[in-house]
Amino acid sequence: MQILQILGGLLAAYLIVGFVHSVVLFVSDWKNIKFVEPGERLRYLIYILGWPLVWSAFAIIIIIFFLIITALLMILYFAGGLC
């Protein structure tokens, strides 16, 4: 079960890196938005603000994978297969 704690820590690190990446991308590109054509500003903002959604989607997939693995390990443990 310690492997799940390690995987949980890695997931937390992944989410922190994703959040930092999104903030850095947003801050570094915020100055450039005034140079974007008025019709393209919405698309540009969606691109910048969409990165947190991408990181979150991958994190949710990983969390679901961990939950499935945890459920299988618990079934094996209580069935007597991992004594």
Q: 37's torsion region: left (phi>0), alpha (psi -120 to 50) or beta?
A: beta
| Cα-based distances in Å from 44 to 35, 54, 70 | 11, 16, 40
What pLDDT tens digit does each residue of the chain (83 aa) get? 677 778 778 778 877 887 787 778 777 777 776 676 777 777 777 777 777 777 778 878 888 888 898 888 888 888 876 65
Residue 35, CB-side half-sphere exposure with 13 Å CA sphere: 4
Q: Quote the pLDDT of residue 34.
A: 67
- pLDDT score of 83: 59
pLDDT, position 46: 76
Distance of CA 54 to the CA centre of its chain: 7
